[in-house]
Structure 1
Amino acid sequence: MDTNETNLEDAANASRLKTAAPAAVADPEPDPEPERDGLPLRQRRVVLGIMVSGTTAACISQSMMIAALPAVMHEYGISASSGQLLTTAYIFVLGLISAMTGYLMNRFDSKKLFFASMASFAVGCAAAIFAPNYPCLLAARLLQAGGAGICLPLVQLVALNIYPKSQYGQATAIVGMIIGFAPAIGPTISGFLIDAWGWRSMFWMLGAIALAVMVLTVLLLDDVVRRPDHPGHFDLVSALLYSGGFVLVMIAATMLESGGSVGAGFIVPLLAGAAGLVVFARRQLRVSEPFLRLQCFRDKTFAVSTLIVICAHMMFMAPSIMVPLFVQDIQGLSATVSGLTLLPGAIMMGVMNPITGRLLDRRGPRPLIVAGCVTVLAGTVAFALIPASAPEWVVTVLYGVRVTGIACLMMPLTAWACTTLDPDELAQASAIITSARQLIGSLSASVFIAAMALTSQNALGVDLGGFDSSFWLQCGVPVLAFVLGMFVLPAKGKR
């Protein structure tokens, strides 16, 4: 009898649980994640479509001068070291401005900020078209970089704001198609334009795109980034320390390229710049409203992932400048051929980013780190051994191999870096990653090109011996990224 009563009581309890279950399903605990995915699909496509279009033009611009470099060098009578500043200085200023967008994105709505960035870029294009000499062209490039420095972290922040954390890999894959594909295809587009209408035609095209995007921004774009109630104040002292420190380090790298020796012109600005950056970092950890929230680096996942992203950009930057120089100045071929040499790699970057984004969401970063670092190292060693007589298809395949490896690292690790951060830290995280990636990538490109120039035997600083020496030096970067990813990066992030 007792057993029967017990069974009846258990059955009654089970019945009550089944009855209560639909209520629990109908009224779940509030999940903050869907709020970050609240845009209707059509609006999301419009916002990202407009912003991706403008940002693509800005990213293409950073690499279009690569194919134009020999023509600009001959027109203005400058060396390869001076000419490459049109690319590396662009990326350098882009990085400096990106650091400031952490404050700007919390202070201004995304529509106004994006319009301002496109306006600055369009004015820079107009100035480049009519530049009478090298200094004016360099100044025009820096004005373009100011606009690019705002829109690049902004589009990344917008993507993260309209996707949940579980889909950050897919969100950053969209941005990755811009960051990776656009600069990679830039030399190809500019090669056709240069051979057909001269190097200034590049800026006619980019300026027209920027103006069209500005019109669409006014008509169709909405503000989709949630800003904090208290955006904070702009720390001018920190901004000066940050900018001044990196500018001095860049001057040191430029002096090394042009001077060819490690003298006072290199050591003094290097030490002064490094001291300024140390003071900057200490200040950010003490002030209540920092210029850059370096406290994010206390999160080990963010810190190590950001370092791997920086390594990936270093692997991308220098070869994207050096390979066209190899094709044009060492092999004696045209700008169009050098651009076509990079085209398959650009296509691979566009194809790989969505794939690596999905792999990150499913498998985590470790398999991508192994595949990426091994692939890049193999391609780098092959370039260090390549002869001047190598067929163009060999150069094309080797460049494509390296870009495929970089696609496994750059945007997946950018996404992984943000998985452990709070939503109100995303604007600062986007600014930090973009700024560090661009600045250190630019500086590393200067160092690797300086290594090529110092070991070359001609006046332009471009020959096969210098090319090989620089690529041997670059082999250390994928090795460093592999060690960081496999032995330092935490195995799991907060998804």
Structure 2
Amino acid sequence: MEKKISSSVLLAIIASGVMTFSGVTVETSMNITFPTLIKEFGIGLSVVQWMTTIYLLVLSSIIPLSRFLKARFKMSTLFIVANLLFLAGLVVDAFAPSFIFLLLGRVIQGLGTGIALPLMFNIILENVPQERLGVMMGFGSLITAAASAVGPTFGGIIVNTLGWRFIFIILMPVLLISLLMGIFSIPHLRKNELSSERFDLKSFLLIVATFAGLIIGIDTISTSSFWNPMVLIPIVIGLVALFTFIRVQNHSAQPLLRVHILKNTAYAKYVVAFFINQLIILGLAFVVPNYVQLINHSSSSVAGLLLLPGAVIGAVVSPFSGALLDRFGAKKPILSGIAVMVVSLLLLSIFSSHLANSVIMILYSLIMIGVGLAYGNIMTKGLSYLSGELQADGNAIITTVQQFAGAIGTVIVATIITKVGAIGGGNGLLGYTAALIFLLVISIIQLITIKTTKE
């Protein structure tokens, strides 16, 4: 007999999901505000981009702590702290008198979202019956995917009608509703055993150095040569910090994050596949609207609307694909989804010299159906290779990888378009073709990675 999910568990997932949705919505809607913020605060593009960069840096630094936080604090405490931090960040940004205060608000929001993102999936993993796990992990993926879909549209409408500050103001009552739902439901969840392990400050500083170096260095590549010291030095610092962090964790009696789980080849392969999936999503989110505007000479509104059907369809497919996992296992929906992505990207690459907007919308929608079939199931299947006590570490690593892909995905694709276009004598179309081929190649690598992983 199929076990039911209790109302408290459902309410707790929705409450944490609303936080996650709000965090991703703000993140994806902020890019729309950049021209307005540049004009209002008298700053340049390189400065305003710190709105996203500093948020992703904080997010990437906090998420790896989720296993430690879960072991030290009650789930209800983490939820309330995350929610209040996010609310405080929204208030600071909504009434920011200067750009410095805007950055401060983004830092506070990053702290809250960094706790909230892994929390939702930890609640699902620990409280949902095994036979319903695929559906609920798909529901969790739906939340983040839907937020990514509506974020740019939401941001554009609010900026053009009410003003950018209302992006933060509108989300305040949403967070308050989430807080009330969580306070009511989370105390009824399965209690996690608390430990007294100490916080490893050295390891945390290495995490910060890793992501600060890699994110800042890779972000600079788009405007500089790879051999520029402003690119090389941060990347080297990030890599040295990363290898030092791994070494410290492997020799620690109480590691901040059990990175040794990456020695589990099957799990590691699914982490790589998840990283590639996220790169493809974000790469296309940059390539498609820019191609539509710069090559097809359509308006920004048309470019934004072309993305919306695919994003919505992909989001809706996510829980359905989780049900397929529960019934048929993970590999069938995952491989089917990736195959759809590969074929669609192949068609985009072949016909990249002349793609009508209608064709782009259809192929992009097909790709997002493929993403919907694969995305949440890759995460669920990857974590299934780990024992219960290691799943919090596995969730932390996968969620960190997701955010890191978010931080560098757009930069990589933009750099390919710019550099290849310059080599081709300013031929922008050549750059877009190269970017699509890059996405095609990594999608094939993703397919091979999953195909060669043993059950």
Match of 1:26 in 2: none
Match of 1:292 in 2: 257
Query: Which SS does the other structure have where 2:336 is aligned?
Result: helix
Match of 1:186 in 2: 151
Q: Residues 337 and 371 of structure 2 are in contact (CA less than 8 Å); yes or no, is this contact kept in structure 1? A: yes
Q: Does 1:475 align with 2:454?
A: no
Query: Which SS does the other structure have where 2:386 is aligned?
Result: coil
Match of 1:308 in 2: 273
Cα distance in 2, alignment partners of residues 325 and 76 from structure 1: 26
Match of 1:278 among 218, 243, 248: 243
Match of 2:325 in 1: 360
Q: Residues 373 and 482 of structure 1 are in contact (CA less than 8 Å); yes or no, is this contact kept in structure 2? A: yes
Cα distance in 1, alignment partners of residues 357 and 43 from structure 2: 27
C-alpha spacing 1:53/1:177, structure 2 compared with 1 (3 Å):
same
C-alpha spacing 1:208/1:395, structure 2 compared with 1 (3 Å):
farther
Query: Which SS does the other structure have where 2:187 is aligned?
Result: coil
Cα distance in 1, alignment partners of residues 225 and 42 from structure 2: 19
Cα distance in 1, alignment partners of residues 67 and 268 from structure 2: 17
Cα distance in 1, alignment partners of residues 292 and 95 from structure 2: 28
Q: Residues 89 and 142 of structure 1 are in contact (CA less than 8 Å); yes or no, is this contact kept in structure 2? A: yes
Q: Residues 190 and 339 of structure 1 are in contact (CA less than 8 Å); yes or no, is this contact kept in structure 2? A: no
Match of 1:115 in 2: 80
Cα distance in 2, alignment partners of residues 454 and 83 from structure 1: 23
C-alpha displacement at 1:236, in angstroms? Answer: 1.3
Q: Residues 38 and 48 of structure 2 are in contact (CA less than 8 Å); yes or no, is this contact kept in structure 1? A: yes
Cα distance in 2, alignment partners of residues 141 and 225 from structure 1: 32
TM-score calculated relative to the size of structure 2: 0.88
C-alpha displacement at 1:205, in angstroms? Answer: 1.5
Q: Does 1:196 align with 2:161?
A: yes
C-alpha spacing 1:317/1:42, structure 2 compared with 1 (3 Å):
same
C-alpha spacing 1:416/1:383, structure 2 compared with 1 (3 Å):
same
Match of 2:16 in 1: 51
C-alpha spacing 1:154/1:76, structure 2 compared with 1 (3 Å):
same
C-alpha spacing 1:40/1:159, structure 2 compared with 1 (3 Å):
closer
Superposed CA deviations along residues 386-428 of structure 1, whole A, max 9, x for unmatched, are: 7798554333323222222222222101111121322222222
* Map 1:131-280 → 2, pairs under 5 A: 131=96, 134=99, 136-222=101-187, 224-280=189-245
Query: Which SS does the other structure have where 1:228 is aligned?
Result: coil
Gaps of 5+ in 2: none
Q: Residues 194 and 335 of structure 1 are in contact (CA less than 8 Å); yes or no, is this contact kept in structure 2? A: no
Cα distance in 2, alignment partners of residues 157 and 335 from structure 1: 38
Cα distance in 2, alignment partners of residues 329 and 124 from structure 1: 36
Superposed CA deviations along residues 144-189 of structure 1, whole A, max 9, x for unmatched, are: 2221111110010001111233432122112111122221221122
C-alpha spacing 1:428/1:63, structure 2 compared with 1 (3 Å):
same
Deviates further, 159-168 or 126-135: 126-135
Cα distance in 2, alignment partners of residues 188 and 295 from structure 1: 41
Match of 2:283 in 1: 318
* Map 1:316-465 → 2, pairs under 5 A: 316-327=281-292, 336-384=301-349, 391-455=356-420, 464-465=429-430
Cα distance in 2, alignment partners of residues 79 and 454 from structure 1: 22
Superposed CA deviations along residues 195-243 of structure 1, whole A, max 9, x for unmatched, are: 3223332222223322332244334542525323425222111111122
Deviates further, 427-436 or 372-381: 372-381
Superposed CA deviations along residues 318-362 of structure 1, whole A, max 9, x for unmatched, are: 322443444556666555444422221222122211221122223
Q: Residues 11 and 181 of structure 2 are in contact (CA less than 8 Å); yes or no, is this contact kept in structure 1? A: no
RMSD of aligned alpha carbons: 3.0
C-alpha displacement at 1:308, in angstroms? Answer: 1.0
C-alpha displacement at 1:486, in angstroms? Answer: 1.1
TM-score calculated relative to the size of structure 1: 0.82
Aligned residues: 451
Q: Residues 289 and 304 of structure 2 are in contact (CA less than 8 Å); yes or no, is this contact kept in structure 1? A: yes
Between Structure 1 and Structure 2, whose CA radius of gyration is higher? 1
Opposite residue 43 of structure 1, the aligned amino acid is: S
Cα distance in 1, alignment partners of residues 360 and 39 from structure 2: 25
Cα distance in 2, alignment partners of residues 121 and 324 from structure 1: 30
C-alpha spacing 1:42/1:370, structure 2 compared with 1 (3 Å):
closer
C-alpha displacement at 1:84, in angstroms? Answer: 5.2
Opposite residue 129 of structure 2, the aligned amino acid is: P
Cα distance in 1, alignment partners of residues 141 and 33 from structure 2: 25
Cα distance in 2, alignment partners of residues 98 and 427 from structure 1: 11
Percent identical pairs in the alignment equals: 24
Query: Which SS does the other structure have where 2:222 is aligned?
Result: helix
Match of 1:105 in 2: 70
Q: Residues 252 and 266 of structure 1 are in contact (CA less than 8 Å); yes or no, is this contact kept in structure 2? A: yes
Q: Residues 109 and 223 of structure 1 are in contact (CA less than 8 Å); yes or no, is this contact kept in structure 2? A: no
Match of 1:22 in 2: none
Q: Residues 315 and 406 of structure 1 are in contact (CA less than 8 Å); yes or no, is this contact kept in structure 2? A: no
